[in-house]
Amino acid sequence: MLFMVEMAVNLPPDMPAERAEQIKATEKAYSQQLQREGKWRHIWRVAGLYANVSIFDVKDAQELHDILMELPLYPWMEISVTALCRHPSSIRSDDK
């Protein structure tokens, strides 16, 4: 099942740079692992914002939830979730 997830990150300006970098590095590794597994299918940066638009391909809403809850940046994120399905006009066999 496909979900669009929009994530906006709000780190407090006074978080020590070292801690912020460490969290971001962990986040990046976690995201790339899920991308390699095919579960985090797309991730794009929203131009000008510390935010992204992502497409997840998961078994169900439970798996999506478990993945998002483990995001290292989750405590500083504002998240919105939109369930997607195949569009009848799509010609891509993998955008189901």
Smallest distance, a copy of itself to C-beta of residue 43, A: 5
Q: Which of residues 6-65 bind a copy of itself (CB under 8 A)?
A: 11, 13, 27-28, 31-32, 35-36, 42-50, 52-53, 55, 60-62, 64-65
Distance in Å from the first CA to the final CA of the chain:
8
The backbone region for 92, taken as left when phi is positive above 0, alpha when psi lies in -120 to 50, beta otherwise, is: beta
Cα three-residue angle 58-75-33, rounded to 5 degrees: 40
Q: Which is nearer to a copy of itself, 22 or 45 (CB)?
A: 45
Smallest distance, a copy of itself to C-beta of residue 55, A: 8
